[in-house]
Each structure stands twice: as structure tokens, then as C-alpha cells.
Structure 1
Amino acid sequence: MNYIEYDFTVTPIELGVEILVAELAEVGFESFVDTPTGVKAYIPKNLWREDVLEDVSLLENEEFTISYQVTEIEQVNWNEEWEKNFSPIVVEDICTVRANFHPEPSTPYDIVITPKMSFGTGHHETTYMMLQQLIPLSLERIKVLDMGCGTGILAIMTALRGARDITAIDIDPWCVENATENVQQNNCSFIIVKEGDASAIAGEKYNLILANINRNILLSDIPAYAQALLPEGILLVSGFYLEDLPAIQERCREVGLTFVSYIERNNWVSVKFQRQ
């Protein structure tokens, strides 16, 4: 399969690239490679259309200067491209996320992943904050759901922290395959990884639900998450901006979830709710 490559030049680069990647992922782009001036984004040719960038609002934001070049390319060796650009991250000096070719760290928790085209390397603010949120929680032997699991990084972290009944779900078959590989690589094969959406959790109950997705899906699926939470169960969500927080809070209030706290990183937020 051929891909269409967009080579973006972004100023200011750090915040701009983070937001741009999140928006591009929502319109069909499947893989991203950081560059010294921005990011290269790839979309399968059969999914590409002339107006593919129409809903990427960052391109209209006057606070950023963004230009790009478009090229059609043959199938890319994503692992090779990723290995050239991926560097380990460390969250709160507690958890390291790295590739298998990086040296073993001294942090208490060590997650080894090969993300391929799946979202969730820990570099994005939302994944980083979700890992932050997990660090202070007591997870021993609780039942966990990682919804929209991507690489499986959050499910793996809960396993390393002591959870044993863990389900990771994603709507994308590629993410399911990738997450399965990553849980095996981290000796967490007891994590159940499956394809599906919020309908897949009907009748299930969890102590902890993780949902790092996006605003619209969260607003749609929060009632299902609330129904699936045990008493005193916790819902951790991310994937949206600070200005979207009131809408998320109101939706959770409607279904009986109590707002506990939130953290912010470059205008992205991660929020903790609890069922009473």
C-alpha cells in the first residue's frame, strides 16, 4: 500500500507538533515521525482525499506558523523510521517508557514498547498525564479497563503496579495487534486485548477505567463507563483541551460521577472522576 506523506514545518515546534499530531490522528493519519523542523505525517493513499486537512483547526490558528509539502511514497518500514527518532521518556522519575534497544533504566517501572503505527508512546501530553495519574493509585489486584488502548501502555502500567484483571480494548485492529505484542513483550500476557468499542463492556464492572481518547467519543461513551464502574470506582480520562473540561465535567455529573481533580500539560488535561 502506498502512503501520502505530509512534511510539516511548525513554529513554535514543541507545542505545535503535539497538537497537530492529535488532530491529524483524528482525520485518518496513521503514523508520525518527528523532524528537526516539525513532523512527517502519513496516511494510506486509499484513505486520502483532497480536503483531508479541512478539519485540522490548528492550521488556521494565528499563534502557529505551519507549512507543508505533500509526497506520495511507497510503503514505509515504520519500525526503522521509528527507531531513528524514538527516545525514552521518564515520568516523575518513577516510570520509563523505552524501546528494546534502549538500555535498562533505574526507575521502579520499566515499559518496553514497539508502537508501530499505534498512538501512545508516552511522548504526547495525554499519555504522559495518564501515566502520572496512575502512579499514586493503589492498583493491587483491582479490575481495570483500558479503553482506546493504542499501544497498550496504560494497561501495562497497571499490570506493573499490581493489577491482574485487565482488559484493553481498541476499535482499530492494528492497535489490537500492536498492544498484544507489547503486553507479551512486558510479560503481561494475562492482559486481555480485544477489538471493539464501548458496547464491548456491557454487563462488565471495573474498579478503574482509563479512557485516553478524544472529546467527542468521551462525551458519547461516558454513560457506558459510568454504568461499568463499581462503587467508589475511578474513571481517568484524557485526550482533550482545558476548554473542553466543563463539558466533560457536566457529562460525568449527569451520570452520577463526582469530579475529583485534574492535571494540565500544555493545555491538555487529564481528569479523575469517581463513582460514589
Structure 2
Amino acid sequence: MSNSIYIEYNFTVTPLQPASDILIAELGERGFESFLETEEGVQAYIKKEEWNPEILTGLAILENSLFTIVHNYVEIEQENWNATWEKNFNPIQVGDKCVVRAPFHDKPDVQFDIVIEPKMSFGTGHHETTHMMMQHILDHDFKDKSVLDMGSGTGVLAILAAKKDAKTIDAIDIDNWCYLNALENVERNNCSHIKVYEGTADLLVDQKYDIIIANINRNILLEDIPSYVKCLAKDGMLFLSGFYVQDIPQITNKCEEVGLKFENNLEKNNWVAVKYVF
């Protein structure tokens, strides 16, 4: 496969929070697919074929007088993006049992050692949503469960579920690069019983899962929650993230409409990861 061309935006953000988190969320809705948080702000990446010079027009955070955000952008090739990741990707520890690291990091002495080559995919444990979803997985029993990971990115959540002895695991992402990257990471972590698919919730036909995890964004979740519930087993659990504290009522209303009940949530820097039960 030839290297993709991406547009890299460098945003300088003052003050950093909560503006950086809001910026990432709004950029995600415009088609940006990968982000690096820096000491000055945010680096954001979008495929050139999905980009246009007016893509930031009307972005609310850029018009908010409480923050000063300046930016520039350049074209980069895939291999240069990966070099940037390697330079910035430090191991992440989740609790006292799990570490997410790159292949070039030393092997840690923990129960769950996950090796991720992130490339252009989202999901290294650095972002609050991934970190909290991993906390949920660590805190719950996955042994012999059937699991769906929607918006799987690197496959890191599916891999952790596999290491916690889930029986069957499907990982689905709409992005081709995420699909290919997850295949690599699944093999790298010897999780051959994870099946990786490229697509959307339209793939969820005649499936049943004990646990569904979906770390996407609010609007996609609101659209797809009914599809998740149709394939959630009785007494099943649904873990959702990719949205903010203030979005919980809207997400919960949609879940309650289809028979789910809010149980609890984790919170980190205004991001949340919520558990619902069937």
C-alpha cells in the first residue's frame, strides 16, 4: 500500500484547557482522525482527500473569545507521521496491572502488557477516553464473555478484553488505516481470537454480545445506540466514551429509550466513560 498524504495542523492554544479538549472534539466532527497533545496545544491530522482549505470555517472554539488559538498546516507523508508518533509515544500505565507501550519500549513487569504500534490510529491510552475505558475493562469480569469493540482504532481495548479472557471479540472501525493497524496489533499481541472488521454499525446483524464498548463521539453514539442494544444480550453491559460530562443526560436519555439503565461513570478532565446495563 502506498503512503497516504495527510495534512498536519499545529495549533497553539492559550490557555491549554479546556480549549484543547474542545478543539479535539470539534475537529473530530470535521473528519480529523488523529491527534497529539503537545506542550503548546494540539497537532491534528486529516487525510488530504478529505481536507479542504475552508475546513476550519465556523469552528466554534476558534471564535470563542476566552481562548487564543493560532495554527498552521503542512502536508506530510505517512512515514513522517509515524516517526512523529515514535518520538512522542511514551508508555502509559493504567492502574497497577496494565501498561500500553510501543515495540521499542522495555517490557514491564505487569499482568497485562499491551504492545501497540499506533501509526495513524486512535487509541494508545494517552487520551482520557481510552484510559478510562481501559479502567472499566480492568474493573469488570470479561472471562468467557462475548465482546464488541466499536470504533476500535488501534484495537487496544479489544486486546485488553482478550487478555482478560474474553471468549469472542469483534473489533470494528470505519477507517481503513485503523482496520489494518488493528490487524497488526492483534497479531503482535497474540490475540488470534479477535476478529477485526472495517465498517460501521451496519455490520451488526444477527449478533449477540455480553459486553459492548464504544469509544467514538457523541453524535455517532446517539445514532448507533439502538443498533448496539439490538445485539446486547440480556443482563449485558454497554460502556460508552468519547464525550463530555455535559453530554451524559443526552446519551442517557437515548439509552433509556431503548431499555438501558445508567449505572456509573468515570470522569477525567471533563471527559467521561459511562456504564449502562440492560
Bin the TM-score by the shorter chain. Answer: over 0.9
Quote the Cα distance in structure 2 between the aligned partners of 1:253 and 1:61.
34
Task: Indicate the residue corresponding to 1:139 in structure 2.
Answer: 142
Q: Which residue of 1 aligns with 2:201?
A: 198
The structural deviation recorded for 1:75 is 5.3
Question: Which runs of at least 4 in structure 1 moved beyond 6 Å after TM superposition?
Answer: none
Shift of 1:55: 5.3
1:45 aligned residue (40, 44, 48):
48
Give the distance between the partners of 2:230 and 2:211, measured in 1 at CA.
12
* Residues in 2 aligned to 1:42 and 1:263: alpha-carbon distance in whole angstroms: 28
Deviation at 1:95, TM superposition (A): 1.2
| Unaligned runs of at least 5 residues, structure 2 | none
Secondary structure of the structure 2 residue equivalent to 1:135: helix
Match of 1:6 among 9, 15, 20: 9
Residue 171 (structure 2) aligns with:
168
The normalised TM-score by structure 1 is 0.93
Query: What are structure 1's unaligned runs of at least 5 residues?
Result: none
For 1:1-276, what aligned pairs fall within 5 Å after superposition?
A: 1-13=4-16, 15-54=18-57, 56-73=59-76, 76-275=79-278
In the alignment, the residues of structure 1 paired with residue 110 and residue 22 of structure 2 have an alpha-carbon distance, to the nearest angstrom, of: 29
Deviations 1:118-146, CA, capped at 9 Å, x for gaps: 11111111111101111111111110000
- Give secondary structure in 2 for the equivalent of 1:84: helix
Q: Deviations over 1:221-263 (max 9, x none)?
A: 1111111111110000011111111011111111011111111
Listed one character per residue, the Cα deviations across residues 141-162 of structure 1 (whole Å, up to 9, x for unaligned) are 1100001111101100100111
**Residues in 1 aligned to 2:230 and 2:22: alpha-carbon distance in whole angstroms:** 31
Give how far 1:13 is off: 2.9
**Secondary structure, in 3 states, of the residue corresponding to 1:106?**
coil
Distance 1:35 1:231 in 2: 43
Q: Could you say if the C-alpha distance between residues 110 and 27 of structure 1 is closer, same or farther in structure 2, counting changes exceeding 3 Å?
A: same
How many angstroms apart in 1 are the aligned matches of 2:76 and 2:255? 44
**Structure 1 residues 13-34: Cα deviation after superposition (integer angstroms, max 9, x where no partner):** 3654344333323312244344
What letter corresponds to residue 206 of structure 1 in structure 2? Y
Distance 1:27 1:97, change over 3 A: same
The share of aligned pairs that are identical, in percent, is 55
